[in-house]
A and B are shown apart, each in its own frame.
Chain A
Amino acid sequence: MSIEISNVSKRFNAFKALDQINLHINSGELVALLGPSGCGKTTLLRIIAGLETPDSGNIVFHGEDVSRRDVRDRNVGFVFQHYALFRHMTVFDNVAFGLRMKPQGQRPSEAEIDRRVHELLGMVQLDWLADRYPEQLSGGQRQRIALARALAVQPKVLLLDEPFGALDAKVRKELRRWLARLHDEVHLTSVFVTHDQEEAMEVADRIVVMNKGVIEQIGSPSEVYENPASDFVYHFLGDANRLRVDEGEVLFRPHEIALSREAGGGRHSGRVRDIRPLGALVRITLEVEGQDELVEAEVVRDQLLADLSRGDQLYFSPRC
């Protein structure tokens, strides 16, 4: 199901959380709302869900205006950052909750509920935890249960608020790959909020970069990375170097650099301040005359670096 967001604005007292947001999300797409904290991404997600009402503008699901519709009737699955599981219920009862709350006529039989819940728990690979309580689960397990619970009511849209934010780095990586795979299988229109550009890059079909209540850029991960629409996007999507030159300044990423021992060819000079091995790459920090900002270079290990030490003079040129 497609989602059309048009002219959505929202204020919290004097604070402008969202300013004239327009966004189209295609059916079956996995979209990331990416931005620093306070940029309005969570507010936008909550407005799509119906947990927050916009001051102006419309939300249209598949041609149907749902702006005035209550969260109960929007048929969205929402996964909260801190899971929001019902702690007095077992994992099974948590997942079954949405089905059991349906009005008499639409409610499946207990046998059917049992089948569906076990199917969902199987899908999130946690069927063996059905009788446990949320307190007895790890963070990653809780998040998968929260996802299963949201999917139980067969929502048309899946919304995830910083779904991996509260997890440690390793679990986060596993879980976001798992989510991307899951999305490939079920193809549910999904929107997730994150402040982690790596996460957005790795999981999303399209990234919506937000800042201060407005959308800075919408595009595929490679589009926003390679053709950033603004300085903000450029800086937010990865480390950046700023080099002052006569006519102004040049922005380039740490890997977009050529290093040499020889001067000439328009190369700038810098003094090596630090050398850090980063697995396949080495990060060299350079002090450049005439500016306080350091320049970082991430390059493949090679002969040049073999006998490099701090204090050496190097010559570099940005390649962009």
Chain B
Amino acid sequence: MSRRTSPVIPGFGLTLGYTLVYLSLLVLIPLGAMFVHAAQLTWAEFWTIISAPRVVAALKLSFGTAFVAALINGLIGTLLAWALVRYSFPGRKVIDAMIDLPFALPTAVAGIALTALYAPNGMVGQIAAWLGFKIAYTPLGITLALTFVTLPFVVRTIQPVLADIPREVEEAAACLGAKPFQVVRHVLLPALLPAWLTGFALAFARGVGEYGSVIFIAGNMPMKTEILPLLIMVKLDQYDYHGATAIGVLMLVVSFILLLLINLLQRRIQTP
């Protein structure tokens, strides 16, 4: 290794050591402990727990709603970031600051507020009831809560990238005869895609693990509106620690595989 240029942060050894210790204490050891605990189960026992219909239903619900919520935010978040970066309008700074509020607000507060609004007797819920469908206490309500909680991810990852694309690039494309949709399709979206995928993955991962805001609006009916994190809590309440860790391991493995896939996809589309 060349020693001619010394990096700003001292020593490779020191930084790596610090990173490993930090990561171990906060992430690897707790997760490892969970695996160790789950390892007390035989494969057959493990399989019985995770293939129970109630667990499978919750698995589908958790990952499904998190996926849809991340997609919705992928769309709305991109538009929001676009409006914030490309236009100046009165109140832009205030709106920009408000984007982060879902992070600051206790998720339970968000859940209760959303439930009050979207329950069949709430302000918006009444309209929905009149139109013949329910929002709160359905997967739709869960998706809504997750959309609220994960809103900042896509906006905040897209914003700087978008600000970095000069207007001239769009003008250059127009001079070359590209129509507006071609500019979006061939110039803007490819440039935004890596950041978009990051935002999407963050929103998705957060949505899968979200607990506080969802339990209020979900109604928590087994097989219908019960999410995986809640199921873990239910098992813990029943002193079924093996069951809880088995589900924990399941969530972790599925999430890890999905995030890995997104990362690989991202690497493929990223230009050097």
Contact residues of A with B, CB < 8 Å? 49, 51, 71-72, 76-78, 80, 82, 84-89, 97-98, 100-102, 133, 135-136, 146, 149-150, 152-153
In whole angstroms, how far apart are the Cα atoms of A146 and B166 in the complex?
15
In whole angstroms, how far apart are the Cα atoms of A150 and B175 in the complex?
8
In the assembled complex, the CB of A182 is this many whole angstroms from the nearest CB of chain B, namely: 19
- Checking A51, A97, A146 against B178 with a beta-carbon cut-off of 8 angstroms, the contacting residue is A97
The interface residues of chain B lying within 8 Å CB-to-CB of A88 are 190-191, 271
Contact with A along B153-183 (1 / 0, CB 8 A): 0000000000000101101111111110010
Do the beta carbons of A153 and B176 come within 8 Å of each other?
yes
The interface residues of chain B lying within 8 Å CB-to-CB of A87 are 191, 271
In whole angstroms, how far apart are the Cα atoms of A171 and B178 in the complex?
31
Do the beta carbons of B177 and A101 come within 8 Å of each other?
yes
- Checking A82, A101, A133, A136 against B176 with a beta-carbon cut-off of 8 angstroms, the contacting residue is A101
Which among A71, A77, A88, A152 has the greatest number of chain B C-beta atoms within 10 A? A88
In whole angstroms, how far apart are the Cα atoms of A247 and B79 in the complex?
68
Do the beta carbons of A72 and B177 come within 8 Å of each other?
yes
In the assembled complex, the CB of A103 is this many whole angstroms from the nearest CB of chain B, namely: 9
Residue in A closest to B179 when the chains form the complex, CB atoms: A72
Where chain B touches its partner, the secondary structure class is: helix
Residue in A closest to B174 when the chains form the complex, CB atoms: A71
The interface residues of chain B lying within 8 Å CB-to-CB of A86 are 169, 172-173, 187, 191
Residue in A closest to B168 when the chains form the complex, CB atoms: A84
In the assembled complex, the CB of A250 is this many whole angstroms from the nearest CB of chain B, namely: 45
Which among A84, A133, A149 has the greatest number of chain B C-beta atoms within 10 A? A84
Do the beta carbons of A101 and B182 come within 8 Å of each other?
yes
Do the beta carbons of A101 and B178 come within 8 Å of each other?
yes
Do the beta carbons of B173 and A97 come within 8 Å of each other?
yes
The interface residues of chain B lying within 8 Å CB-to-CB of A51 are 171, 174-175
Do the beta carbons of B176 and A149 come within 8 Å of each other?
yes
Do the beta carbons of B176 and A80 come within 8 Å of each other?
no
In the assembled complex, the CB of A208 is this many whole angstroms from the nearest CB of chain B, namely: 22
Do the beta carbons of B187 and A84 come within 8 Å of each other?
no
Which among A77, A97, A102 has the greatest number of chain B C-beta atoms within 10 A? A97
Do the beta carbons of B174 and A72 come within 8 Å of each other?
yes
The interface residues of chain B lying within 8 Å CB-to-CB of A100 are 186
Interface membership of B272, Cβ < 8 A = yes
The interface residues of chain B lying within 8 Å CB-to-CB of A97 are 173, 176, 178, 186
Given A72-B177, A87-B271, A153-B176, 8 extra CB contacts under 8 A: A82-B168, A86-B187, A88-B190, A97-B176, A98-B176, A98-B178, A101-B177, A146-B172
Residue in A closest to B176 when the chains form the complex, CB atoms: A98
Q: A72-B179, A101-B182, A133-B272 are in contact. Are A78 and B172 (CB under 8 A)?
A: yes
